[in-house]
A and B are shown apart, each in its own frame.
Chain A
Amino acid sequence: QQPVQSPQAVILREGEDAVINCSSSKALYSVHWYRQKHGEAPVFLMILLKGGEQKGHDKISASFNEKKQQSSLYLTASQLSYSGTYFCGTEIAGTGKLIFGQGTTLQVKP
């Protein structure tokens, strides 16, 4: 039931791009993306609802393919501040309960 994230870890240089994928074996109502820095709380990035949404702000965007039960997070021209662990949280319709993937650790180097 837990969604699978890939890759598990990424190392980038500043300015490079990254894609983080999240796949579920169950039909999804929504996908929520968070970033967590070590020892801190998860910070909300964006929520995508079923219907094939694509969203973005600044240099971070995401897509949700309902049919494939997949979501992808796109990080463009990465900055040092993007370092952290990224989690996707998936929700089955109406439950409110988020099931999180195992996380993808992103390290951006100067």
Chain B
Amino acid sequence: NAGVMQNPRHLVRRRGQEARLRCSPMKGHSHVYWYRQLPEEGLKFMVYLQKENIIDESGMPKERFSAEFPKEGPSILRIQQVVRGDSAAYFCASSPTVADTQYFGPGTRLLVL
């Protein structure tokens, strides 16, 4: 049973470009969560999605960030017009039901030059 998969593992972008981060949850998990971790800091909640629905996006910056979890395929976190401050590790977690154990993927480390 494969764990949570994320790709790419490392992503380098120049200021102004777009970043697309993908997350495939564990088999049987329909709840996906995205967290951001700045260097030497803790994990900050960004968004919680269930298939085709955004349940809670209270941690998402109002501009440039969007997330989706389509009926088919992985969840995507999209960052438009990246800035240096977006450089961070972005982790995805999944759970089988709400309020259940969340299992984390390996993360995508985004570096904005």
Report whether chain A binds chain B. Answer: yes
Q: A29-B99, A102-B42 are in contact. Are A41 and B31 (CB under 8 A)?
A: no
If A41-B91, A100-B35 are given as contacts, then 19 extra A-B residue pairs at C-beta distance below 8 Å, sorted by A number, are A41-B106, A42-B43, A43-B104, A44-B101, A47-B101, A89-B43, A89-B102, A91-B99, A94-B99, A96-B55, A96-B56, A96-B99, A97-B33, A97-B45, A97-B59, A98-B33, A98-B35, A99-B45, A100-B42
1/0 contact string of A34-75 vs chain B (CB within 8 Å) = 100000111110010000000000000000000000000000
Is there an interface contact between A100 and B43, defined as CB atoms closer than 8 Å? yes
Q: Which residues of B contact A (CB under 8 A)?
A: 31, 33, 35, 41-45, 48, 55-56, 58-59, 91, 95, 98-107
Is there an interface contact between A98 and B105, defined as CB atoms closer than 8 Å? no
Distance in angstroms from B104 CB to nearest chain A CB is 4
Chain A residues with Cβ under 8 A from B44's Cβ? Answer: 100
Distance in angstroms from B71 CB to nearest chain A CB is 20
Distance in angstroms from A48 CB to nearest chain B CB is 11
Is there an interface contact between B103 and A44, defined as CB atoms closer than 8 Å? yes
Contact among B42, B48, B105 with A103 in the assembled complex (CB-CB below 8 Å): B42
Residue of chain B at shortest CB distance from A95:
B56
Chain A residues with Cβ under 8 A from B107's Cβ? Answer: 41
Measured in the bound complex, the distance between the Cα atoms of B99 and A97 in whole Å is 8
Chain B residues with Cβ under 8 A from A97's Cβ? Answer: 33, 45, 48, 56, 58-59
Is there an interface contact between B42 and A101, defined as CB atoms closer than 8 Å? yes
Is there an interface contact between B99 and A30, defined as CB atoms closer than 8 Å? yes
6 A-B pairs (CB sep. < 8 Å)? A32-B102, A42-B43, A44-B103, A91-B99, A97-B59, A98-B35
Residue of chain A at shortest CB distance from B3:
A41
Distance in angstroms from A33 CB to nearest chain B CB is 11
Distance in angstroms from B29 CB to nearest chain A CB is 12
Is there an interface contact between A42 and B45, defined as CB atoms closer than 8 Å? no
Distance in angstroms from B93 CB to nearest chain A CB is 8
